[in-house]
Structure 1
């Protein structure tokens, strides 16, 4: 889940939409930083989670191969969103943890797309571990940053990720249909949580006098 780190940017001529600094827009790192702090980027991550969740729930009778492809694509896209989001974090320790998680998502997506690993147990293990680790890492900014504008929403999303990971890992999935419904449900719930975080961040930016995405 992509969550911007730290307080909302200050208002005034020194601040640009998304927290970019004037005169540095040509630098790739500054562009990624501004993009990572944008509430629309967080909303994009929410959509990338919601869409596969809805597709999985709408077509629950599809084969395990189709489920593996959907989950694999979801993990790959989420890895890209997490990679860009880490540029919005000022603490190097948080950036390192974010980079580790982004790489983990990409590798997990590749594993899901590989035919030899398209089994119910493998999919449950991959997704369950990722959600659990992601939720635990999301707790750090909630605890460390008391002035986080959307702290309550991030806390709820982090706890939801932890619970989702535990449920997927603990509950036995005896069929592809059961796994499909379980993963689809949690993807939709996580996507809705990310949407709430995105709009909370948008409200924080508006309160700070920052316009635009």
Structure 2
């Protein structure tokens, strides 16, 4: 007597591979298109990201305001905090939508600050010997600090460069996904 649990996966596997393969193809094709658009139209891509970010902030703010009214178990102070925070987030979203490129400059400055802090940590790790080899910590720290300073000095150019590099990487990843697809079975079950 055979156990039905042991035969089920073998009979389901071709169907799962077909669905999985189709999903991978769709995601890879979308990735290729988005990567090409990001490289050909970096300004439009940035504008789209800024607009989507603004919409996200407005939706997030609305969620927090709604939560302030309907969440169970919140004290009065937390309700006020959630509502005010939601209002501030919504205002930030409206500001992003009113001047999307300015919000990208703010994003570039935040990225730059993060890279500078990361560079300081890497330099300290190289000096203290916690990163091996030590020179790698120094090089990594110097490169991170230089990239952070570049984002401060030329934030718009820095964000455009990130979009272009991201587009190239998206094309590479999507292409490798297509090349690594599971092969179709010759005799379907």
Question: TM-score interval w.r.t. the shorter chain?
Answer: 0.3 to 0.5
TM-score, length of structure 1 as denominator length: 0.34
Task: Name the structure where helix makes up a greater proportion of residues.
Answer: 2
Larger Rg belongs to: 2
